[in-house]
Amino acid sequence: MEKASAEQWFRMATDELILRLREQDRAAQKWLYERYSPLMFSVCKRYLRSREDAEEALVGGFFRVFSQIDTYSGAGSFEGWVRRIMVNECLMALRKNQPLIFPGDEAEVPDHPDSFNIEADISAREILELLDHLPPGYRTVFNLYVLEGFKHIEIAETLGISINTSKSQLILAKEKLRNLMRLKGY
Amino acid sequence: MPDLFDFFKENEDKLHERPSEKVWQKLEQKLERTRRPKRRGIQFLQHWVVALLLLILIIAAVLVWHFSRQ
């Protein structure tokens, strides 16, 4: 009973927030920004190497959220909708800077790639630093598949590549990460 | 021992980081720039409504004065 009531409160709070956002209420916009900017900034930083580019994408992404709030239908989570906008903004920024190159395009993809388990005590931040060493093509596919939960067909459509390229980029990204970790002694 | 992919997903919340203060300032400036023309439009309309009401009042006063003299 208590749980249902908490869920109702959350739903009401989100509905109220969206209503205020539709009226372009600055306090509501600031509240939403404060609530989601740490998460969305970490999303942007994984796609765009430099902090400046990530902050630029964050400004553009939130601007889109506020100016296109009427297009949020209420189906699906609001956070997911905001996150999707941020990812699109980052992909646009990546394409604007330079066309995405996918090294090892259409490489031989094993049916059952080796599983790679973490044996060393490695922090998440260290993993993020490792991810920064990946070429943009590998990193983008890795982010979309692992963190956004995209399927290969969706990645292929989003990036305008083949499904096989998406699969090979992911496997090559994993391979590269494994080598980098070995080099660093993990 | 988690797989690399699972490890990444599970630790995502640890990577959250607050952006610098200037990000909100930039965003607010961008929002202001798009809001101003609308405001100016409304203000312009409000001035016209006030001017029209004043004109109607003046005409009404003149008419009342004119007919009361007759």
The residue of chain B nearest to residue A51, with distances taken between CA atoms, is B19
Is residue A60 over pLDDT 90?
A: yes
Check CB contact under 8 Å for B4 and A117: yes
Check CB contact under 8 Å for A38 and B18: yes
Check CB contact under 8 Å for B3 and A62: no
DSSP state of A146: I
List the single residue in B2, B9, B16 with the smallest CB-CB distance to A118: B2
By CB atoms closer than 10 A (0-12, 13-18, 19+), residue B67 is exposed
Q: What is the pLDDT of residue B1?
A: 45
Is residue A48 over pLDDT 80?
A: yes
- A102 Cβ contact partners less than 8 Å away, ≥ 6 residues apart: A137, A138, A141, A161, A165, A169
Q: What is the pLDDT of residue A114?
A: 53
pTM: 0.74
Check if the beta carbon of residue A102 is closer than 8 Å to that of residue A169.
yes
Query: Considering only CA atoms, which of B5, B6, B8, B1 is closest in space to residue A117?
Result: B1
Q: What is the pLDDT of residue A29?
A: 93
Is residue A107 over pLDDT 80?
A: no
Confidence tier at A3 by pLDDT (50, 70, 90): low
Provide the mean pLDDT of chain A: 83
Confidence tier at B40 by pLDDT (50, 70, 90): low
Q: What is the pLDDT of residue A112?
A: 47
Q: What is the pLDDT of residue A9?
A: 63
Rg over alpha carbons for chain A, rounded to the nearest Å, is: 19
Average pLDDT over residues B21-49: 81
Window 39-58 of B: residues touching A by CB (8 A cutoff) are none
The residue of chain A nearest to residue B2, with distances taken between CA atoms, is A117
Check CB contact under 8 Å for A38 and B16: yes
Q: What is the pLDDT of residue B58?
A: 95
Is residue A72 over pLDDT 70?
A: yes
Instruction: Give me the helix-helix angle, A78-97 and A26-47, nearest 10°.
Output: 50
Check CB contact under 8 Å for A59 and B17: no
Q: What value of ipTM does the predicted structure carry?
A: 0.76
Average pLDDT over residues A37-57: 92
Average pLDDT over residues A5-23: 78
Check if the beta carbon of residue B2 is closer than 8 Å to that of residue A118.
yes
Which domains, ranges and CATH numbers included, belong to chain A? 2-97 (1.10.1740.10), 100-186 (1.10.10.10)
Q: What is the pLDDT of residue A99?
A: 67
Interface of A with B (CB under 8 A): 24, 26, 29-30, 33, 37-39, 41-42, 45-46, 54-55, 58-59, 62-63, 66-67, 115-119, 123-125, 127-128, 146-147, 174, 177-178
